[in-house]
């Protein structure tokens, strides 16, 4: 019985080793969004297409994506062709032109095609702050109840889509 | 001799470059506050909040775009008369507990805050038990 006590440090060491080992390879940059499980914050943004103010009422009813992008953002250019593919599949995407100008956004969409159901201008990045965005591209999945269920930081691609597809309901 | 002169000039140049960078960095974002208290509150808040984009920098230190936006946001909120708590809650609601350099006291952070003290307590208890036992045993031997 007394001997067992001497093994406690070893046991603790092994337990810690296992805990730390399981953390290896995880992306330390990954930050869970504070908005997951919450409804989309109040939207009051001008639409690129109509120049009209858009509020939450006009958002799609079914599940959809909110994609933050900007013409200044190189990763967004990489992501764009994949968004076009998603749009072709019929995935509704709301584009938020984040900290960008109207003219450059229009040119970008003319040159590369427009995968967005609706493009809203967030020139000052205020809506970005309300969504807890830290940069672009960033994509949120909103379910049919209007609740944010997933957030992805960085470009969307086939692999990412596979993991978030399940949230589109 | 010539080398030394060149060396001294080089040092002067480096010092000058470093200093001019520092001046530039500060001049980039001059914020005016309606009162010195607000300035102090701002200075404290930007050091208390972590930049959500960059793991190990506070909002004050970071050059990331989002940190700059948040600095302006904090400035505006202070000038609009919002309390420190309101501002911190605002940030936490958007960026999560991650932005707090001082983690909240709750179930998830219990071990973080109190774990070391609990371990210290256990250690002290074991230490005391060992000492008392040894003393008792020695007494037993001497009798």
What is the DSSP code string of A8-62? HHHHHHHHHHHHHHHHTT--TT----TTTTSBPPP-EEEETTT--EEEGGGS-SS
ipTM value for the complex: 0.76
8 A C-beta contact, residue A119 and residue A97: yes
Whether the predicted pLDDT of A133 surpasses 60: yes
Q: Are B98 and B38 within one domain?
A: yes
Q: How confident is the model at residue B26 (pLDDT cuts 50, 70, 90)?
A: very low
| Cα separation, A122 vs A102, whole angstroms | 10
Q: Is B56 exposed, middle or buried (0-12, 13-18, 19+ CB in 10 A)?
A: exposed
B56 touches chain A (CB under 8 A): no
Shortest CA distance from A131: residue in chain B = B94
| Separation of first and last alpha carbons in chain B | 83
8 A C-beta contact, residue A135 and residue A157: no
| Cα separation, A6 vs B138, whole angstroms | 22
Task: State the CB neighbour count (10 A cutoff) for residue A62.
Answer: 10
DSSP states along B89-124: HHHHHHH-GGGBSS---SGGGHHHHHHHHHHHHHHH
Say whether the peptide bond before residue A137 is cis (omega within 30 degrees of 0): yes
Closest to B88 measured CA to CA, from B78, B109, B79:
B78
Q: Which of residues 135-154 of A touch B (CB under 8 A)?
A: 135
Strands of B1-143 (E only): list them. none
What is the tens place of the pLDDT at every residue in A94-130? 999 999 999 999 999 999 999 999 999 999 999 999 9
Q: What is the pLDDT of residue B1?
A: 54
Q: What is the pLDDT of residue B53?
A: 84
Q: Among the three residues B71, B86, B102, which one is the final residue of a domain in this structure?
A: B102
Whether the predicted pLDDT of B131 surpasses 60: yes
Residues 6+ apart with CB under 8 A from B74: B42, B45, B46, B49, B59, B87
Q: Are B25 and B40 within one domain?
A: no
What is the tens place of the pLDDT at every residue in A59-102? 998 899 999 999 999 999 999 999 999 999 999 999 999 999 99
Domain coverage including residue B23: 1-30
Task: State the CB neighbour count (10 A cutoff) for residue A82.
Answer: 16
* β A64-69/A138-142 pair status: antiparallel
Whether the predicted pLDDT of A3 surpasses 90: no
Q: What is the enclosing helix (H) or strand (E) of B4?
A: helix B2-27
> Nearest Cβ partner of A134 from B53, B73, B92?
B53
| Cα separation, B64 vs B51, whole angstroms | 8
Mean pLDDT value across chain A: 91
* β A44-47/A64-69 pair status: unpaired
Q: What is the pLDDT of residue B109?
A: 87
Q: Are B97 and B64 within one domain?
A: yes
Which residues of A fall within a CB distance of 8 Å from B49? Answer: none
8 A C-beta contact, residue B99 and residue B91: yes
> Nearest Cβ partner of A129 from B53, B94, B98?
B94
Domain count, chain B: 3
CB burial of A18-35 (b: ≥16 within 10 Å; e: otherwise) equals: eeeeeeeeeeeeebebbb
Q: Which of residues 91-130 of B touch A (CB under 8 A)?
A: 92-98
Q: Cβ separation of B94 and A34 shorter than 8 Å?
A: yes
What is the tens place of the pLDDT at every residue in B63-112? 888 898 999 999 999 999 999 999 999 999 999 888 898 888 888 889 88
Q: Nearest-CA distance from A118 to chain B in Å?
A: 24
B26 touches chain A (CB under 8 A): no
- What's the CATH number of domain A34-165, 3.30.9.10, 1.20.1050.140, 3.40.30.10, 3.40.50.720? 3.40.30.10
Q: Nearest-CA distance from A88 to chain B in Å?
A: 32
Quickly tell me which residue has 């070391």 as its tokens: B116
């Amino acid at each position: 019985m007394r001997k067992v006590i001497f093994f406690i440090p070893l046991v603790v060491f092994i337990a810690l080793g296992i805990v730390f080992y399981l953390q290896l390879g995880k992306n330390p940059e990954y930050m869970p969004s504070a908005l997951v499980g919450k409804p989309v914050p109040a939207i009051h943004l001008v639409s690129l297409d109509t120049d009209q103010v858009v509020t939450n009422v006009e958002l799609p009813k079914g599940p959809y994506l909110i994609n933050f992008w900007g013409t200044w953002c190189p990763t967004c250019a990489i992501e764009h062709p994949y968004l076009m593919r998603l749009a072709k599949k019929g995935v509704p995407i709301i584009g938020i032109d984040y900290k960008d100008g109207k003219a450059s956004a229009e040119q970008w969409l003319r040159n590369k095609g427009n995968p967005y159901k609706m493009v809203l201008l967030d020139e000052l990045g205020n809506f970005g702050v309300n969504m807890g965005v830290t940069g672009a591209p960033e994509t949120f999945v909103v379910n049919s109840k209007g609740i944010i269920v997933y957030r992805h930081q960085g470009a969307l691609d086939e692999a990412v889509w596979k993991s978030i597809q399940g949230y589109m309901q | 001799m010539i080398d030394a002169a060149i060396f001294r000039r080089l040092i002067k140049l480096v010092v000058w470059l470093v200093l001019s960078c520092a001046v530039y960095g500060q001049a980039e974002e001059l914020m005016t506050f309606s009162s010195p208290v607000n300035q102090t509150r701002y200075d404290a808040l930007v050091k208390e909040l972590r930049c959500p984009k960059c793991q190990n920098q506070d909002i004050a230190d970071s050059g990331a775009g989002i940190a700059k936006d948040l600095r302006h946001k904090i400035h505006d909120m202070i000038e609009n008369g919002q309390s420190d708590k309101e501002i911190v809650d605002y940030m936490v609601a958007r960026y999560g507990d991650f932005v707090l350099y001082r983690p909240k006291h709750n179930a998830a952070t219990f071990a973080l805050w109190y774990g070391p003290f609990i371990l210290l307590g256990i250690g002290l208890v074991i230490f005391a038990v060992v000492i008392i036992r040894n003393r008792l045993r020695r007494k037993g031997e001497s009798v």
